[in-house]
Amino acid sequence: EDIAIALHVDPGHEMFQVGERLKETIEERTEGRFTVTLLGTEVGGERDHLEGASIGEYQIALGGSMPMSLYAAPYAASDLPFVFNSSADARRVYEGEIGDAVQESLVTNGNLRLVGLSIRNPRNLTSKVPVLSPDDVSGARLRIPEITPWVEIWSEIGALPSPIAWPEVYTSLQTGVIEMQENPVDFIYNGKLFEVQSHVNQTEHVYSFFHWLMNNGFYEGLSEDDRVLIQAAIDEAIAWGDELVQGNEAKVYDQLVDAGMELTEPDVDAFRAKAEPAIRRVADTFAPEVRDYVLSQID
């Protein structure tokens, strides 16, 4: 039987390496009863992959922020900008009773089962001027992904969020259509944004995760032994990947500095204070237990 894993990242990306490790482990431990096919962006983007896994064309898909906003919106709090201080804080949204509700929601709405979370590097703001306080982004044309809470929070802070498709981001920063963008450092480096931006402002405003999702039909069709075996392989690959990601972060910072970028340490609390009204508005749209947890983070 073949397990198709769809990963919406470049072949060099850490998550692709996690996928490769997963492939090796599964094929080896099941002695070839299962083969694994790794598919990248040539079969589509994130939404395409999730839909594909949802209908069973792919058995496993990697998701960024989308799986939660598409299939479990009342719980999609882990990627809220300026709310959490660490990955550990953000991860609680997937644990305990909330975690069970998340799983149920994903299965009901997306026919997908969350089988693992990979750590991502926190997102930072890049710019052509140093950004230290919310005033520095006031009126700046900022490219962010089309995630409604993100748009709301950044607007509250005073930026002008602009939806620019990722392929046009580099050119748009170069020519000045947009002035700033925000991403994890590995995206900043791989997108060569150091050529068109001068500052990495360490806002670390989003601690999101990569979500590993399995088609629920495939999950339920596995024998108990295979289920345990595959889950163990996933857990091991993810643990290996988390170390890789955290180890690489410092290296990427060095590479960005070598490429001429300056690092700044903005007043993150000031951003959080400015964003608070929007965060409260967004929190009100969540399930009560999630709302309370989010509010406990900013109080």
Partner 1 sequence: MGPMSDVDTLLDPAPPPKSAFWTVVETAMILAFIGMLAVMLIQVVSRYALAIGVPWTDEASRYLYITQIFLGLAVAERYGMNIRVTLVLDMLSTRIRSVIEAIGYLLTIAIAVAVLFGAMRMINQTGNVAASTLPVTMAWLYGVQALGLALYITLLAKDVVATFRRTSSEAHAS
Partner 2 sequence: MIILLALFGTLIVLMIVGVPVGLAMIGASVAVLLSNRGFDNIPYEMLAQRTLYGVNSFTLLAIPAFLLIGRLMNASGISDRVFNVARSLVGHLRGGLGHVNVLSSMIFAGMSGSAVADAGGLGPVQMRAMEKDGYDRGFSAAVTASSATIGPIIPPSIPAVIYGALANTSIAAVFLGSIIPGILMGLSLMALVFIMSHRRGYPVSKRAKLSEIIAAIGAGFLPMMTPVIIIVGILSGIFTPTEASVIAVGYCMIIAFLVYRTISLREFWVICRDTAVDTAALLVIIAGSALYAWVLARYQVTSQIIDFLSGAIESKYLLLFLLMIFVLVIGCFIDSVPALFLLTPILVPLVVSYGIDPVHFGVAMIFNLMIGLVTPPVGTVLFTVQKVANIPYGELVREIMPFYIPLFGMLLAITFIPGLVMFLPNLLLR
Q: Work out how close the CB of 229 gets to partner 1 at its nearest, in angstroms, rounded to a whole number.
A: 29
Distance between CA atoms of residues 10 and 49, nearest Å? 14
Using the rule CB under 8 A, is 168 a contact of partner 2?
A: yes
- By CB under 8 A, name the one of 51, 152, 242, 276 that touches partner 2: 51
Q: Which range binds partner 2 by CB under 8 A, 73-81, 107-115, 174-182, 212-220?
A: 174-182
Distance between CA atoms of residues 188 and 253, nearest Å? 10
Using the rule CB under 8 A, is 216 a contact of partner 2?
A: no
β-strand partners of 63? 211
Amino acid letter for position 220: E
Q: Which range binds partner 2 by CB under 8 A, 26-34, 49-57, 205-213, 276-284?
A: 49-57
SS3 82: coil
Q: Spell out where 33-153 has E strands.
A: 35-39, 60-63, 112-119, 123-127, 141-143
Distance between CA atoms of residues 241 and 15, nearest Å? 7
Binds 96, which of partner 2, partner 1, none (CB < 5 to 8 A, cut-off by type)? none
Distance between CA atoms of residues 65 and 90, nearest Å? 13
Q: Work out how close the CB of 66 gets to partner 1 at its nearest, in angstroms, rounded to a whole number.
A: 8
Residues making contact with partner 1 (CB under 8 A): 51, 54-55, 69-71, 73, 109-111, 139, 141-142, 146-148, 151, 155, 159-165, 177
SS3 14: helix
Q: Which range binds partner 2 by CB under 8 A, 160-168, 218-226, 238-246, 254-262?
A: 160-168
Q: Work out how close the CB of 35 gets to partner 1 at its nearest, in angstroms, rounded to a whole number.
A: 26
Using the rule CB under 8 A, is 221 a contact of partner 2?
A: no
Distance between CA atoms of residues 74 and 291, nearest Å? 9
Residue closer to partner 2 by CB (options 6, 279) is 6
SS3 72: coil
Amino acid letter for position 289: E
Residue closer to partner 2 by CB (options 52, 122) is 52
Distance between CA atoms of residues 63 and 213, nearest Å? 7
Residue closer to partner 2 by CB (options 173, 233) is 173
Point out which residues bind partner 2 (CB under 8 A).
4, 37, 39, 42-45, 47-48, 51-52, 55, 57, 164-165, 167-168, 170-172, 174-177, 195
